[in-house]
Amino acid sequence: MGYENKTTRVVVIGTGYVGSSYSFSLMNQPIADELVLIDMDKEKAEGDAMDLNHGLPFGSPMKIWAGDYSDCEKADVVVITAGANQKQGETRLDLIEKNVNIFKGIVCSVMQSRFNGIFIVATNPVDILSYATWQFSGLPMERVIGSGTILDTARFRFLLSQYFNIDVRNIHGYIIGEHGDTELPVWSQTRIGVESIERYMKNHKRDAAKEELDHIFANVRDAAYHIIERKGATHYAIAMGLVRLTKAILRNENSILTVSTMLRGEYGLEDVYIGVPAVVNQKGIERIIEIELNEKEQQQLTHSAGVLKEAMTPVFKH
């Protein structure tokens, strides 16, 4: 799949909060040549296409239209944002059964078009739905990518940047595991600039306390609950994260992003989609990066994978 001299096409399935925010974010960057919007509510997709097209004089050249599954045949990337949304009081895992059933129909329809590109999955629970997409599509696992903890990692870096008053681009740290309640921060490998967070606190912020860092992580983990409580949905930041992932694929960037991908022995885990750092390029997942975890972090990641597997068992009989 070479992208240098060809028209690049992205298809978005689902034009709800996340899908429409993604489309708006994508058209503001010169990444793809064509954007196709698919939704069960055809008029909603048509309305979004019209609205976006009217903004093209202010943005990058792009062809945008409301289409159908046949348009997936020539797509390089299909982004799935469709499905039942997380409601107030629900966990992401509460959505499993209804969204797996929705995904079966979507993925089979995409594959009937002879789609041969890369899936990006954004719908929750994203780790389990990424696994479902891989199962239903029959594509190699490296070409089915979940948004994983890409947003959690961004939230983590943002809150640390606020706490330490340092440019967010100089905060280097990862949230890994389930995109949900069992995710974990890799404190042992978190750096501010070139210094470990522990060393940075000792040298530059002696009034910092471990309890404050724990509170920062709790705000990262529970951010979706706080936002949903206030406005009903989270969509801007994840949309930008999905565009970042799309760009890494279409531009063949070899970017390291914390996406949901299949583990086959990495971190001692098997047969589970879960958020870990991986190199992303035009092939999809080029390779998984194994961070050196301390004993506690490894236990937490193993627990997170166990929770996902247990939740999947009623749906996928191994």
- Angle subtended at Cα 58 by Cα 56 and Cα 62, rounded to the nearest 5 degrees: 30
Contact (CB, 8 A) for 52 and 28: no
Q: Work out the end-to-end distance of the chain between its first and last CA atoms, rounded to an integer number of angstroms.
A: 32
Q: Name the 3-class secondary structure at 291.
A: coil
* Dist. CA 243–CA 297, nearest whole Å: 29
Contacts of 110 (CB under 8 A, 6+ apart): 11, 13, 69, 72, 78, 119, 137
Q: Maximum CA pair distance of the chain? A: 59
Catalytic residue among 179, 215, 235, 303: 179
Beta strand 255-264 with 270-281 is antiparallel
* Dist. CA 277–CA 313, nearest whole Å: 25
Q: Which two tokens stand for residue 98?
A: 């209804």
Q: Name the 3-class secondary structure at 37.
A: strand
Phi, psi of 14 (to 5 degrees): 110, 110
Q: Which two tokens stand for residue 78?
A: 């299909």
179 assigned to active site: yes
Residues paired with 264 in a beta bridge: 270
Annotated catalytic sites, by residue? 179
